[in-house]
Amino acid sequence: MGGGGVVVVEEEEEEEVEVARGGAGKEKRKRKKKYGVLMCAEEEPEYVREAHGGYFKMFVRLLGDEGETWHLFRAARGELPTAADAAAFDGFVVTGSCSDAHGPDPWIAHLAHLLQTLAAARTTILLGFCFGHQILSRALGGKTGRAVNGWDIGVTCIHPSNSTLKLLSSLHIPSHLPVIECHRDEVWELPPNAEVMARSEKTGIEMFRYGDHVMGIQGHPEYTKDILLHLIDRLLQRNLIQMSHAEDAKASLEVREPDREAWQRLCKSFLKGKLPQLKPLPIEDE
């Protein structure tokens, strides 16, 4: 059981329901909101498990509410729900990964196909972070690849567009929105009908939305500073970044704080379908 009455399910099992009393003494069955985390990380650092309980529980703490069930699917191991089973979920979170969203791995292709199917049905909300942001773009017809400006590691200040700030006015989202980032890939080109929501100095597409049911975020609102410091050291040890990158990233942690509360408001509101001002995609003629 997660905090706040959130039921955490690490493996798929029968859907749980709440039983509440209806009028005239009748019982009515109320389905619990059901969300899934499509875990795209091939491995989970021991530090993250010991200090934070693992990435899955971090996402539940960030996005979960009382009375919900949250299910884990290890997508990078080929563990995905069928399209029919996935359609019973209210929403999915697509996580980060060390893999490339533009890569040829079979599990990535299978994930992209599932996301494409769910997006076309328009009944399940999809929210992606980092790799998840990129694979959503790919699944919907966009293009991804190596970031033009190289690695972006540290606390990055992104700038929502004026139209985004207007759409999210009820959430009081600031015009400068710091978030932890750790990526060397990016979305090059948006899918048809998608809209850029935010940019940064190094990345042209920090956020995008596709109608009212798909959103991608390049950053990591779920990360904390200690996790980023651990990842910086891992990247250095594996010779994936230069010392100058590590120093710049650590320096950014001293300059600004990630606005976790604002990101939580934004992400939870979108995932729970509480942004009615977002317009759905127009229905195309058959």
Give me the active site residues, please: 130, 220, 222
The 10 Å Cβ neighbour count of residue 224 is 16
Task: Please state, in angstroms and as integers, the Cα–Cα distance from residue 240 to each residue in 104, 122, 129, 235, following that order.
Answer: 21, 38, 21, 5
Burial class from Cβ neighbours inside 10 Å (0-12, 13-18, 19+) for residue 181 reads buried
Q: What does the alpha-carbon distance between residue 142 and residue 121 come to, in Å, rounded to a whole number?
A: 18
Where helices occur in 36-154 by DSSP H, the ranges are 46-52, 55-63, 83-86, 106-121, 131-139
Q: What does the alpha-carbon distance between residue 34 and residue 15 come to, in Å, rounded to a whole number?
A: 8
Q: Are 75 and 40 in contact (CB under 8 A)?
A: yes
- Residues near 106 by Cβ (< 8 Å), separated by ≥ 6? 78
Place of tokens 């999809």: 126
Q: Are 41 and 96 in contact (CB under 8 A)?
A: yes
User: Looking at residue 277, what DSSP letter applies?
Assistant: T
Q: What does the alpha-carbon distance between residue 271 and residue 204 come to, in Å, rounded to a whole number?
A: 23
